[in-house]
Structure formats: C-alpha cells, structure tokens
Structure 1
Amino acid sequence: MGCGGDRHVDLCFSGSYPLMAVSNAVNGPMRGSLTVQCRYEPGWETYKKWWCRGANWDNCRILVKTNGSGEKEKVNQVSIQDNQKMNMFTVTMEELRWNDADTYWCGIEKSGTDLGVKVKVTIDPVTMQCHYSPEWETYVRSWCPDADLSSCTIVVQTAGSELKKNLVSINQKMHTFSMTIWGE
C-alpha cells in the first residue's frame, strides 16, 4: 500500500483494505505482454481506476485510467478495463521492453484520498534455440532480429562458445546455439 504523499494519499490503517492486487509481483517476457488484476470491495464499481508508474506513491505517473464504466481504455501499449460485476479491474501491458521493469500501482480515484496498492513488474529475457547439422560446426553463428535476411543488421555473432553484446547473448554448444535477448 502507498502511504503519505501529496497527490495520492493512502489511509494506511490496519484491518481490511478495499483494494488489493491479485499478485504484488508480476513478470512478462521481453517483447511479450503481461496482465495485472486488482480486486476491490463492492461499492467502488463506478469510481475511476488507474495504473501508475513509479516507486514513489506521491509522484508516480498515471499511464492509463478508466472513465468510471466497464469500457476498455488504452494509451500506447497499456490498457485497463474494469469488470464491475466481478469487482476487479485488469491492466495489460503489451510489447514489453526491458525498461518497463519498475514499481507500479493499481489505484482507485476518489475525492480527498486515492486508494492504491503496489505491484512490482519484472521483464524476463527471451531465449531462442537454433539447431544445425555437424558440417556447420566451424561456421560463424549470428543473430539478426529482422525478418528480411537480405537487409537485416547482425546484432551479435560468434565462432566461440559465448559472446554478449548490446544486451543480447549468443551461446554455442554442440549442434545448437541459443540467443538470449536481455534488452532492446
């Protein structure tokens, strides 16, 4: 729960709290998507729900907000939808990038004080494997992120066992090499 601050002030009391994240730590794959679900007690259905980024509750940046209905709202790669019958709203982050890893907040806007709970988002690296036959063992392995092989730029290549470059690693073992994308 967030506590204190100027813009969003959380009540911070012991006992039941009207808002909770289904999970306070969520992860998603690089270039993939993740979903966060936040539940609230009956009575908060028509209030606006929001998703905010930043470790500090008092100055986090609201990325997307509902309009008080069950309609889906989307800003850039982030969407939010409130299921008022289930007393739950869902945030989806798409096309995840390495720098999307951060502290976020599920929130409910109300007069005087907003409600909010912290959610930690982490991004998982993606690994892809390529297999080849023994006659190619002495050739250089390379990784190119573009679909068009004739015009793409090689990001990393190796004739040895492992090389890291530009947040991409390539690892070669017998008849297999794998690329791990750690960042953009």
Structure 2
Amino acid sequence: MWSLQNLLLVLCSALSCWTCAAGVIQVFGYEGGGVKISCSYDEGYENYKKYFCKGNCWFSRDGLIKTPQRNKHKYFIYDDKKSRIFNVSISDVRLHDAGTYWCGVKRTGYDLYTEVRLEVIKDSCCDKVTEIQGNEEGSVSIRCLYESKYQKQLKYICRGNQPSTCLQQALITSNNRQNGRFTLSHDQKSETFTVTNLNLTLKDSGSYLCGVQTDTGLDVFSAFKLEVKEMCKVNSSNIRAIVGHPVTFQCSSSQHRDTKKFLCKGDQPNNCTDMMTNQTKFSLLNVSSSCFSVTITELEAGDAGTYFCGSDSQLRFKDYTEIQLAVESLQQSSTVTPISSSITSLSPSPHESDVNLLYILPAVLVLLLILTFALFMVFKNKSKSLKVGGVGMSGSNTAGSDEETRINDIYGLEEDESHMNHEANPIYGHSLTEDNIYCN
C-alpha cells in the first residue's frame, strides 16, 4: 500500500511539474516553410541532455529529436551552452504539424519542460484582393492600410502572394524608401503607407502583398492585383509642313463612349502638353466613331516636334496616333535644278534628292553630247559647201568654158527677149549684143 502511495505521489509531482512548466512559447509557421523554436534553461543544466517532443512526452521522453543528435528527418537541434538556449528547427511544416510541443531537459526524477504551441497557416493571402490598373510606361501607387498598434513596425511590399517569403523578397521597405523604380511614403496620421512604381512595364502585372512586421512572427498582410495595360500605337506618321501654312492630322478614335478627344505634344503619350486648350490655333474637325482630324493654323518653326492624338486622354484604351511634324520655311521646301528654272523638285528627304540626281545628271550629260555633235555637223557641212564653191570659180579651162557657155546661153535668151521687147516697145533704141556685154 505504501509503495502505491509513493507511486501516486511521484505521478502527482510529475503532473504538477508538467502543468507548471515555465512560460509558453507561441510559434507561427507557414505551410511549406520552416519554424525555429528557442528554449532556454537555468544555469547548471548545460551538460544535461535536451530533447523536443510532441503531445504527451511522459511516455516518450526521447521525443522527436534529442542531443547530442543534430539532425533527424525534418528536425534539427542545437544546444548553445554558453547562452543556455537550445534551438529546434522544423522544416517543411504542414497543417497537421500544428499542435503542442515540449522542450525538455532530461534529469533524474522528473524532467524540466517548456510548452511550445505551434500554429501552421496556409502560405497564401488573402481572402480579399484589391484590383488596381496601370498603363504601360506610366506609374501606379499602391496604398496600404495598417492598425495603429503597428505604427512603428517595419513596412514593406513584395510580389506574389506567399507571406512566408515576402519580407526576404521585399521590393522596398520603410527602412529604405527609394529603390530603383519604387518609392515608399509613410503617413502616420492616416495610418497608411504608399508604394509608387514608376515607368510600368507589362511584366509588372501580377499579385502584390503589403506587409507589416509584428513581434509574433506572423506578419500582417493586404493583397493587391495589378493589371498593366499595353499601350499599342494604332499608327504613326511623319508630316512635313511649311511655315505660315496650315496642316491637318488624322487621328484614330476609340469606339468607347464618353471619351474626350485629345492632342498633346511631348516625348511620351502619358507625359505631354495638352494643345487643345489653344482653340484659336488648334481646331477639331470631322469627328466620327472611328477617326477625327485636327488642324493647326499658321504654323511656326516652334510647332515642330512629336504629337499624340486619340480619343481618351487617360489612355485607358489602346488607340492613339503618334505624329512626327517637321516644319520648314518656304525656301527650304523646294529645290530648283540648274538646267531650267521651270524644273523644280520638292524633296521630302535627302535620300530621295540623291536618288533624283542619279537620274537627272546622266540625262543632262547625254543632252549636252547630242547638242555638241549636232553643232559639229552643222559647221562641218557649211565649211564643205564654201570649199566647193571656191573651186568652181578658179578651176580648169574646161570648167571655165562650161561656165562661159552657160552665161552665153543666159544672155542669148535675154537678147531674144530684148529684141522682142524692142520691136514691141520703141523706148529701147539700141539692142544688146555679146560684144557690148564684154566691153562694158
């Protein structure tokens, strides 16, 4: 009977010690991740064996892992005797790993225990997701709320929806408020922090988590989903115009209702100056469901540059037109060729002028060669004709006799005519003879 009483006393002492374990360690872990438990002990127990167990450790005192053992399956234990803390790590925790564990120090009689409560949470967030939109090459701001008790805690943002790795993969934190394209601003009065992402790309689309670090190891998150819309240029054109003259742009128009037509000037469609405020110089024409026109009157040299026009100044839709406008003076707009003042050429580009010269110069050279050859032939024929005439007058006697015979024949005809006229007309008193001709 006495031995039974002693046994009951020992059991009561053990149970009393079990329930009076010093403190409770609360640990949180994400499914698939790892957790670390730090168990302290009093001075004098440095060389005692330590172990880690789950549930009722009285019947399995060696537990899941013990010193001097270091690794066992997914458990790891290390006793830091200098600081009198032994650390236990559990890797790849699952939902069924949640529960009550004990850090034990093995000694004679009953062991020393510290209770550990492990909570395993799914590694995803969250039930509520806020959707936001941005435009390619634009910017977007994510506004994150937190409770007042976390005002001095670290704030951060990461991509994805896995809380377990969010802090390690943070894009920016409140300790470093500028990181590349990301900036973080903190407004303690409204209990918000805002992360701005500049110069958006299509790859920025996806899930984001705003995180606030806590002392429990289980951070607080809010989830966002960002959609970056592609900026597609419907068309683009290069226009050359003359100073003082009007020019008209053809612009694409959105099929969406209640969209305001716009024309702006600048390097980017989302960062340009609205030109439609000057309605005396810029006028909207021919507005339809698919397109519209904008006319600029009295062009100046300063009007040259890049323009964007479309049907939605907020660029929510994928339709706008890019226009490169070059403004020239009237003298620069035309080129006169040296062959004739009536041949002019309006050269849209230096490349086209070079191509025209390649065709014009050979034609001019051929024309000059033809004119030179023609002049040469004319002078040659005239020279030959003069030479032939000179030889006929000073040639041989035979040639002279023939010529004299032709002259006599001519004068013989004249004599006959004179004789006839003399008979008919008494005015002529003398008749002409061959001797009279040569004497005279």
Contact kept in structure 1, 2:150 and 2:214, CA below 8 Å: no
Matched, 1:4 2:30: yes
Q: 1:93 maps to which residue?
A: 197
Query: Against the structure 1 CA distance between its residues 175 and 89, is the aligned structure 2 distance closer, same or farther, given a 3 Å change threshold?
Result: closer
What do residues 25-68 of structure 1 show as CA deviations (whole Å, max 9, x unaligned)? 1111100000111111212111110011123332342100002x
TM-score (norm. length: structure 1) = 0.57
Query: Against the structure 1 CA distance between its residues 175 and 117, is the aligned structure 2 distance closer, same or farther, given a 3 Å change threshold?
Result: closer
What do residues 128-151 of structure 1 show as CA deviations (whole Å, max 9, x unaligned)? 566746xxxxxxxxxxxxx6xxxx
TM-score (norm. length: structure 2) = 0.25
1:82 counterpart letter in structure 2: H
Matched, 1:44 2:150: yes
Q: 1:113 maps to which residue?
A: 218
Aligned Cα root-mean-square deviation (Å): 3.5
Aligned with 1:82 (options 158, 172, 186): 186
Q: 1:142 maps to which residue?
A: none
Query: Against the structure 1 CA distance between its residues 122 and 174, is the aligned structure 2 distance closer, same or farther, given a 3 Å change threshold?
Result: closer
2:180 counterpart letter in structure 1: N
Percent identity (aligned) = 21
Query: Against the structure 1 CA distance between its residues 7 and 103, is the aligned structure 2 distance closer, same or farther, given a 3 Å change threshold?
Result: farther
Deviation at 1:106, TM superposition (A): 0.5
Contact kept in structure 2, 1:11 and 1:113, CA below 8 Å: no
Matched, 1:122 2:227: yes
Partner SS state of residue 144, structure 2:
strand
Deviation at 1:180, TM superposition (A): 4.5
For the residues of structure 1 that align with 2:144 and 2:211, how far apart are their CA atoms? Answer: 9
What do residues 61-107 of structure 1 show as CA deviations (whole Å, max 9, x unaligned)? 2100002xxxx701110111111111111110110000000110001
1:4 counterpart letter in structure 2: Y
**Greater C-alpha radius of gyration:** 2
Query: Against the structure 1 CA distance between its residues 105 and 180, is the aligned structure 2 distance closer, same or farther, given a 3 Å change threshold?
Result: same
For the residues of structure 2 that align with 1:90 and 1:174, how far apart are their CA atoms? Answer: 39
Aligned with 1:24 (options 123, 130, 134): 130
Q: 1:163 maps to which residue?
A: none
Q: Which 5+ residue runs of structure 2 have no aligned equivalent?
A: 1-28, 36-118, 123-127, 237-247, 251-266, 268-289, 294-308, 311-316, 320-440
Matched, 1:103 2:207: yes
Query: Against the structure 1 CA distance between its residues 73 and 7, is the aligned structure 2 distance closer, same or farther, given a 3 Å change threshold?
Result: farther
Q: 1:17 maps to which residue?
A: none
Matched, 1:63 2:63: no
2:30 counterpart letter in structure 1: G
For the residues of structure 2 that align with 1:34 and 1:105, how far apart are their CA atoms? Answer: 15
For the residues of structure 1 that align with 2:188 and 2:249, how far apart are their CA atoms? Answer: 52
Q: Which 5+ residue runs of structure 1 have no aligned equivalent?
A: 13-20, 134-146, 148-172
Query: Against the structure 1 CA distance between its residues 104 and 174, is the aligned structure 2 distance closer, same or farther, given a 3 Å change threshold?
Result: closer
Partner SS state of residue 138, structure 2:
coil
Contact kept in structure 2, 1:51 and 1:63, CA below 8 Å: yes
- Give the number of aligned pairs: 128
Map 1:156-171 → 2, pairs under 5 A:
none
For the residues of structure 2 that align with 1:80 and 1:7, how far apart are their CA atoms? Answer: 29
Contact kept in structure 2, 1:7 and 1:59, CA below 8 Å: no
Query: Against the structure 1 CA distance between its residues 99 and 42, is the aligned structure 2 distance closer, same or farther, given a 3 Å change threshold?
Result: same
**Quick check: which one's strand share is greater?**
1
**Quick check: which one's helix share is greater?**
2
Partner SS state of residue 106, structure 1:
strand
Contact kept in structure 2, 1:51 and 1:106, CA below 8 Å: yes
Partner SS state of residue 123, structure 1:
strand
